[in-house]
Amino acid sequence: MMTPTAARAQIGPDAAMMDVLCPMHAVLNASGDLVHAGPTLVKICGGTSLIGTRFSELFDIKRPQTDGSVRMLIATAGAKLHLRTRGAPRTDLKGVAVPLSPGMPPEGGVLINLSFGISVVDAVRDFALTSSDFAATDLAIEMLYLVEAKTAAMDASHKLNMRLQGAMIAAEEKAYTDTLTGLRNRRAMNYVLEQLTSAEQDFALIHLDLDYFKAVNDRMGHAAGDHVLREVARIMVEETRSDDTVARVGGDEFVIVLKRLTDPQIVHDIAERLIARLSEPIPFADKYCSITASAGSVLSCAHAHADATRLMLEADTALYAAKDAGRGRHISYTQDLNRHATGNGEVGGPVSSNCPGPLAPRDPGRRDGGTE
Amino acid sequence: MHGLMNRSIERFVRDTYGRDVWGAVMRRAGLDYVEFEAMLTYDDHVTRDVLHALGAVLARTEQDILEDIGTFLVSHPNLEALRRLLRFGGPTFTEFLHSLDDLPARARLAVSDLILPEIELRDHGGGRFCVWCRGPVAGFGHVLVGLLRALADDYGALAWLEHKGRQNDSEIVEIQLLTVEHASGRRFDLGLGAL
């Protein structure tokens, strides 16, 4: 069995052997000058012979703190050293020092082996290293492989994530959009109403129904009907703000949610302006399609705790009051309307003081020609 | 089958024959989409159906197509990343061959659910090697023929390759190195991929 001393003696300063096993090692004499450097160490220090150069002129030992003397290097024997090259490009290195055995030249010298550690990726590029610059047992090549493989795999995963996110947004958009008009659909409207009522934000809700639309469909065909719906949608979007919600909730039924509105007069003005524009004949092919619209509205501020279902029901009551009153008009919801509604029962609750009664004058005369 | 495999077939067809041919292949395979996701997993039958359809559309044997896919994976500029990963196998073609046994493990290190067939290299001396390739899906040996042929070229080695058929559940690929590596291969800089 070999004694530890004998084993160390075999490693010794056999330069050729050490160059194969540790191509980044250096042997220093007692005064800290290099007496030998491995081939890769020579390469990263500029390629010229390093013999006679002081180790501390080439490398800065960052940790543990030393004065760079061989005596202190020997004191760190076996511990991990953190170093940095003094020449450009600055490269962080890891190292370990071991004192040479007594009797092994240079007397009182030290052997230091260095490695790139995590900076290997940059170092390989900066110094144009090849696999022959590393010991055959070094894991550097495997590490470089892993870095590239993981980067490629991450890129692929990232692309997939981006595509999935895009698909998700498109699917959500589709789920909330009425395909014919591009308006929101009933599902989107329910969502918006839930959001607003749960956040206790004020809003006005207008339920609008087209008059004489069935006649357009019947007399001029579905293409004309579809055209009218798209034009109606365009007008409603024009007459509302970008953060309002315009939804098509049925064949010719629409709901408009106007955020932050608490003044019934403003809601009435908006509804009347909308109805006036919708009553203008809509050109299609070489003909005109004539429709009007009836609307009922309700304010969320009319209730201490606005409930989406109840607000929809009240807007609906007001809408049917408008239809009963002769169409082509808007009526704001009041409790009084329930007495005239048939089979609706008592729906209304307390109405706040800033929500007065119907603003549209009731017209008992029915407009002729309605085929709703 | 891992999406990377299907995606490779897709890239090969798109880059070699164009998107119209690829669309025709996918329709013929009865699939209602035209793009494979590299990082998803698909039923094995999808890959089989696409290869059948591809054979029919191109009027070529599946073996020929698989071999071309192997060549494509190494030689097409769009797949430079894969060529580089393969070249990490060794600095010479001979050393690369000796690293083939590690190929499935290397693939798993990169993408943990990418399962490649088991690969075993047998060195018969005089530059003659046999690669035994054992996996659930037949045909990988043909891909390997194309891939190794292109890689020999990449390394600047002259080699003769042949698929020797199946034995039990293994495909056998024979390799005869005709000359040792010379310097006319393509460059491979270790540090280039990290840029």
Task: Judge whether A148 lies within some domain.
Answer: yes
Sort out which chain B residues have CB atoms less than 8 A from A152's CB and list them: 81-82, 85, 110
Q: What does the pLDDT look like over A238-255, one tens digit per residue?
A: 999 999 999 999 999 999
Domain span holding position A154: 142-175
Contact yes or no for A148 and B88 at CB 8 A? yes
A14: which 2 tokens?
Answer: 């056999």
CATH number of the domain within which A11 lies: 3.30.450.260
Q: Is B168 left (phi over 0), alpha (psi -120 to 50) or beta?
A: left
Q: What is the pTM of this model?
A: 0.67
Q: Where do the structural domains in chain B lie, given as residue ranges? A: 3-60, 77-186
CA angle centred on A162, ends A156 and A166, rounded to 5° = 145
The 10 Å Cβ neighbour count of residue A358 is 22
The dihedral built from the CA positions of residue B13, B19, B24 and B29, taken in this order, carries a sign that is: positive
- Mean pLDDT along residues A173-191: 93
Task: Judge whether A368 lies within some domain.
Answer: no
Contact call for residues A176 and A170 (beta carbons, < 8 A): no
Same-domain pairing of A91 and A199:
no
Q: What does the pLDDT look like over A291-339, one tens digit per residue?
A: 999 999 999 998 888 899 999 999 999 999 999 999 999 999 998 888 7
Same-domain pairing of A56 and A166:
no
B91 to chain A, minimum CA–CA distance in Å? 7
Residue A23 main-chain phi, psi, to 5 deg: -65, -5
Sort out which chain B residues have CB atoms less than 8 A from A126's CB and list them: 191
Same-domain pairing of A171 and A83:
no
The 10 Å Cβ neighbour count of residue A8 is 17
* Residue A112 vs residues A26, A46, A70, A109, A267: alpha-carbon distances, Å: 5, 19, 11, 10, 85
Q: What does the pLDDT look like over B91-110, one tens digit per residue?
A: 899 999 999 999 999 999 98
Same-domain pairing of A291 and A320:
yes
Same-domain pairing of A151 and A115:
no
Residue A41 main-chain phi, psi, to 5 deg: -65, -45
Contact yes or no for B190 and A129 at CB 8 A? yes
Same-domain pairing of A37 and A97:
yes
CA distance B94 to B37: 34
Q: How many domains does chain A have?
A: 3
Sort out which chain B residues have CB atoms less than 8 A from A151's CB and list them: 193-194
Nearest CA in chain A to B3: A156
CA distance B66 to B82: 17
* Spans of chain B below 70 pLDDT: 180-183, 193-195
Task: Judge whether A80 lies within some domain.
Answer: yes
Same-domain pairing of A190 and A336:
yes
CA distance A23 to A15: 10
- CA proximity to B134, closest of B171, B174, B99, B97: B171
Segment holding B109, helix H or strand E: helix B103-110
Same-domain pairing of A310 and A214:
yes
Contact yes or no for A125 and B111 at CB 8 A? no
Same-domain pairing of A132 and A231:
no
Q: What is the CATH number of domain B77-186?
A: 3.90.1520.10
Task: Judge whether A76 lies within some domain.
Answer: yes
Same-domain pairing of A328 and A306:
yes
Sort out which chain B residues have CB atoms less than 8 A from A138's CB and list them: none
Contact call for residues B115 and B140 (beta carbons, < 8 A): no
pLDDT band at A173 (very low <50, low <70, confident <90, very high): confident
Contact call for residues B176 and B135 (beta carbons, < 8 A): no
> Does the pLDDT at position A8 exceed 80?
no
Task: Judge whether A359 lies within some domain.
Answer: no
Q: What does the pLDDT look like over A58-96, one tens digit per residue?
A: 999 998 888 878 888 999 999 999 999 998 899 999 999
B193 to chain A, minimum CA–CA distance in Å? 6
pLDDT at A346: 40
Task: Judge whether A365 lies within some domain.
Answer: no
Q: What is the ipTM of this complex?
A: 0.84
CA distance A267 to A257: 10
Task: Judge whether A170 lies within some domain.
Answer: yes
